[in-house]
Structure 1
């Protein structure tokens, strides 16, 4: 079933890797920690162990750079048999701090799309991660005024979105979510009878990847760039 754009009243946007660059910085940090811990393991093994620890820590720390930094420290301790030098721990903490201080790099067409859509629709930002960090990025982005509502979610599952739609007092058919992650921004919406558009980013965290079986039979639209959204509403 195609999206009925005439019914849409509220459009939700993911933030990281939909409005601005994010995952690229995590990939760069992974390369840095591989170098720091190269005396203990191979790059591939370090990468695998870091991913395991990140997933293990998600229920405790949630998402975001701070959680990622703590997981890097934990991996360093485990791989070194708790003999990692203090200087290495300090270097890992600095990786995290540098990530938090990165400039906000808007993706192509973002402000143009938000400016035009905000004239006719209520726009909301629905993202997950660390509240303080997401507030920092939003402020630096200069996009705050385009959004009617901003929601930083602990996770993006069906229950989270249903609660959000209740808060907005709209039907699922009146809501459209736009994001780069099939797992977080598309499938949960389709499952609650809302609408979703997938705009892929060139890099995806392994935790956000989905199988063909999970997407089979699901109705959503995929675009090459955010700019293409405007063509749908002409």
Structure 2
């Protein structure tokens, strides 16, 4: 039997660019509040709000926009002008319309693996936004299943790989977030292939599990077939 029969892929900043658009929006937000606080102070307060609100709003643009509004209220001591709130809503909506920029080697790699492995897109965030990006990417037909989840944990991966495939021990998860994609997948019994992205959100940073036998790290997704061959030949 092949050691791996199913591969899960993260979406944002693994298949297409995402964090860069959040960074640009954060810069616009800091400019809006420039009369009240410096840019670094605004960013720090925004990050604090985002962390507080994850359990309430989850991951995604809507929660980010609400956190910007909350931060604006805090930074201005409750005196934020209505026009500024309107501007925040505008840049939040613009974030929902950003173009999909597929990362290098993604499409050809998925096409090469399609049919040989069960391919599952496992992503978290706003349902409508993730569906929009998948549709615009043109990659949807290359996946056997799509799972949009509220969060990613070992339980999440056990459930998905047990339901759709031959269990987590014969599965692999590929992504740019050690915290969400790699560490919990390995804890579930799967392989975890880490592809670093320069702009990964700070909340997703943890130490790589370098001593874990099923941990792998590559520079770009085009190297994934080689990793699979190495595991298969071992």
Q: TM-score range by the shorter chain?
A: over 0.9
Gaps of 5+ in 1: none
- Other-structure match for 2:8: 12
User: If the length of structure 2 is used for normalisation, what is the TM-score?
Assistant: 0.94
Q: CA deviation at 1:216?
A: 5.2
- The Cα offsets for residues 62-101 of structure 1, whole Å up to 9 and x where unpaired, read as 0001110010011001111111111111111111111111
Q: CA deviation at 1:166?
A: 2.2
Task: Answer whether contact 2:119 2:142 (CA < 8 A) is retained.
Answer: yes
After the TM superposition, which segments of 4 or more aligned residues of structure 1 sit over 6 Å from their partners?
none
- The Cα offsets for residues 137-171 of structure 1, whole Å up to 9 and x where unpaired, read as 00011111001100001101111111112211422
Task: Answer whether contact 2:157 2:184 (CA < 8 A) is retained.
Answer: yes
Q: Secondary structure at the match of 1:126?
A: strand
The answer as to 2:91 corresponding to 1:86 is no
Structure 2 residue aligned with 1:229, among 202, 219, 224?
224
Q: How do residues 7-46 of structure 1 correspond to structure 2 at under 5 angstroms?
A: 7-46=3-42
Gaps of 5+ in 2: 230-234
The answer as to 2:135 corresponding to 1:139 is yes
- Other-structure match for 1:74: 70
Q: Secondary structure at the match of 2:2?
A: helix
- Other-structure match for 2:51: 55
Alpha-carbon RMSD across the aligned residues, in angstroms, is 1.4
User: How many residues get paired?
Assistant: 228
Please, which moves more after superposition, 166-175 or 81-90?
166-175
Partners in 2 of 1:108 and 1:203 — Cα distance? Answer: 16
User: If the length of structure 1 is used for normalisation, what is the TM-score?
Assistant: 0.94
